Structure formats: C-alpha cells, structure tokens
Chain A
Amino acid sequence: MSAHLYALSTCPYCRMTKKFLDEHDVAYELTEVDLLDGDVKDAESPKGAAAAEVKRLSGGTSFPVLVVGDEVVVGFNKGRMTQLLGL
C-alpha cells in the first residue's frame, strides 16, 4: 500500500514518525514542506501547493500528515499507523 508522509524538517513528531516507519520497513514518499521552494501563500509554488494539499487532507496546518491509501493520520499516532499499515 502506498504511503506518503508530509513533514516539516523542524518537527520532532515528524522525526518520530519517520523513525517508526523506517523501523517497520515501510516504504513511503516524503515531502518536507518547509524545505520546498516558494511561498506558503502562493499556491502556484511548490511550498504553497504542498501546504494547500496538507490543508485539504488534514483540515489544518499541523504535521506530520501521513496518507495511507485513502486514510489520513495527523500527528504521531502509533495505534492508527499500526492498524492502517497492518504492522
């Protein structure tokens, strides 16, 4: 199942999530939104587009946001990740 992690380079919970996924050998695509080019208010820029996507997926501006199939996990939530990834 494909997984996509939206993260911030500054975010401790994003680091915990990456560590958790790595320890369980989960392959995932990683987007570190704050490291992208552009302006968060400019939806045409990579950063603005990614921020808008995170807002659409999670309803907010909090990270990490993990997308597994059609499901979205906001925050470092071991229980839900374990369940969704079948770990």
Chain B
Amino acid sequence: MSAENRPARRVFGLGTTIEDLKAYMGPFVGHLGYKFNTETDFVDDVLDSELLVLDRDGDVFCPCRMRTGDPKEDLKIVCPCIPFYADQFAAMRKCWCGLFIRTDVEDGADLIGVIEQPEAGALVEVPVMRLEDLLPGSVRHVKIGKRDLAVARVGDEVFALSNLCRHAFGPLSDGFVDGYTLACPWHGWRYDVRDGTTDHPNADVSTFPVAVRDGEVLVTVAIGRSR
C-alpha cells in the first residue's frame, strides 16, 4: 500500500508489518532530525524484533529493555523514544540502539552497538523540529528530556525560552506572539523572546541559543539538565 493510500491512523496489532512501522516512524523522526539507520538489514532486524514484542506485549516496546510493569515508566520505552533523551541522542548522533541516526550521518554502520555516552553538562545542539513546522508568529511546546521549552518564530528568526510563566506557571507555548513579545495565555504576562525579560521584577525566564541550519531548528542545552 502506498503512503498516499494508507489510512491516516491504524491500530498496531497482528498483521502489522515492518513496512507499517517504517511508514509510521519515518516521517515523525524526520521532523526531529533523524532517519532510519543506513544499515538496512540492522533496521529490519530491530523492527522485526519490535513486532515480536508487539505481538506478545501489545505495543512496540524496545526489544532490548525489560518492561518494569509500571505503565508510566514502560511508556518511555515505546519506540521511537527520541524526545525523552533528545539531548543525549543529539550528542551521540543516534538513538540508544542506533535504529535512528541524525539525518546528516551518511554511514550509520559505526553507530550500531555501544558508543561512549556524552558527558553530563556538556552543551549540545538538539534538533527539535523543521523550520517549516513552525509558522511565523507562532509558538510551540518542545520537550528535550525533562525540559519544557516554548519555541517561537518571529519572521525567520526562532527563539527558545523556558515554557513556564513565572507568574502562575502558565504554559508560554500556548501564548500569543506579537513581534518579539510572547504573552502568557493565562494572564498576559509578557516576555521578550530574545532574552526572556519581562515587565515584572525578578520574573525573567531562561532562554536557550537557537540556530537554523539546513531547515532544522537546533536548540542548545546542557546534557542531562532539567533547565
């Protein structure tokens, strides 16, 4: 079945194929700056293993990790898990298992197996979306590990701020962009997206450097930190 004719949604279950998983996961990870590993036999082996897990456990849990029995924890190991570990993966250029690699990696063979984990606290550019995913004058919520960011676009410039308004912790990512000002959706506290400053004393929010390269929006964060 071609991608055009495929139903918008389908429920995974008996009869799900490797091609179904590829069609489901490929476009999504593309938005996040990843693609399937170039080693196609390895990709098929991992996805085939995920189908075994799907048949037995009811979802495409990671085939190399044991479910804990805690549903909240186990949902973190449903493939793809990129947003949960986006900072570490950006530094490693791959997800834990290497099923997915960064889009600019030409040969993924060396990214199969254990590689050195990045140092906590080191700065890394994390791809969070493609520029065309964010319309000028709009703002979106982005998760990088435990961080919650508001990523706003003004013209062709993109800015990243901590997502929580310092007033009543409203989600700035649901707010209103007006020029370089982002207004909280709850009570209208206004922040300058360029530096996180606000009209209110001692209530500025953190900002994070953003670059746009090859159509990707990249936010710089410290690995393993929550802010």
Chain A contact residues, CB within 8 Å of chain B: 8-16, 33-34, 39-41, 51, 54, 61-64, 74-78, 80
Contacts and interface: CB of A to CB of B under 8 A. Distances in A.
Nearest to B66: A61
Interface in B27-72: 42, 45-46, 49, 52-53, 56, 63-69
B114 interface: yes
B113 interface: yes
Contacts of A64: 64
A62 B114 contact: no
A41 B113 contact: no
Nearest to B67: A40
Interface of B: 42, 45-46, 49, 52-53, 56, 63-69, 96-97, 113-114
Contacts of A61: 65-68
B114 A11 contact: no
Contacts of B68: 40-41, 61
B211 to A, nearest CB: 31
A72 B56 CA distance: 29
A9 B64 CA distance: 9
Nearest to A50: B66
A12 B66 contact: no
B66 A8 contact: yes
Contacts of A78: 113
Given A8-B66, A10-B64, A40-B67, 7 more contacts: A10-B53, A11-B64, A12-B45, A41-B68, A41-B69, A61-B65, A61-B67
B59 to A, nearest CB: 13
A19 to B, nearest CB: 12
A63 B65 contact: yes
A41 B69 CA distance: 7
Contacts of B45: 12, 15
B114 A10 contact: no
21 contacts: A8-B64, A10-B49, A10-B53, A10-B64, A11-B63, A11-B64, A12-B42, A12-B45, A12-B49, A12-B64, A13-B64, A13-B97, A13-B113, A15-B45, A16-B113, A61-B65, A61-B67, A75-B114, A76-B114, A77-B114, A80-B114
